[in-house]
Copies of this chain bind each other. A is one copy, B any other.
Amino acid sequence: MSKSSTTAAGHTLWTKVPKANTELFALTYGSLITELLRDYDQNIPEINSQLERIGHSIGIRCIDELLAKSEVNGVNIPPCRDLKDTAEVVAKIGFRMFLGIGCEVGKLTAKSFSLFLNENPLSIFVELPQNGESGDSGTDWSKLKYSNIYCGVIRGALEQVNMKVECDFVRDVLRGDDVNEIKVELKEVMVDGAGEDYHEE
């Protein structure tokens, strides 16, 4: 598949989806983070893992929407024959269709790739407290993976198409990094009864 056809498919799907103001979305996501901070008593590793869990459920719905909307609108989602194809679909179709942004694929190997987000809609209003700021009672904010929901979404979505992956938000502009980087590692390609070898009678 060509990169440009993937990009075009993403843009076409983006024109077809209902839209809301990203700022409202970001503020609502911020409220979710606040609830989790309260709920899990500022236990940052636990909050990171809860965000990933929440994202996983959302990802399962997202891939359903992506496949349904592409079928309804006659948008061709190129088959993913290798991890490079998959990475391109996630970056150029998935991120475009749900967030209106593209992201870049890099560090590609047979078993992993990274997604680089130049912009991150979730964090537009966010500035994390500095460690040691008053009232934080020892919370290590530098460990908070604020946007970890993305990792869960990607894992949930790819699981539905039989790829078991692990994702990690390894670099984050909110934590002082130059760029946002999500690392995706392929753990297993699951086999189900209706794969390529399946022939209907």
Interface residues of A (CB under 8 A from B): 17-25, 27-29, 31-32, 34-36, 38-39, 54, 57-58, 61-62, 65, 97-100, 121, 124-125, 149
Contact = CB atoms under 8 A, between A and B. Distances in A.
28 contacts: A17-B23, A18-B21, A18-B23, A19-B21, A19-B22, A19-B100, A20-B20, A20-B21, A20-B22, A20-B98, A20-B100, A21-B98, A21-B100, A23-B98, A24-B62, A24-B98, A25-B25, A27-B57, A28-B29, A28-B32, A28-B149, A31-B57, A32-B32, A32-B35, A35-B36, A35-B39, A38-B39, A39-B39
A22 B32 contact: no
Given A19-B100, A23-B65, A34-B54, 17 more contacts: A17-B23, A18-B23, A18-B100, A19-B22, A20-B98, A20-B99, A21-B98, A24-B62, A24-B99, A25-B28, A27-B58, A28-B32, A31-B32, A31-B54, A32-B32, A35-B36, A61-B125
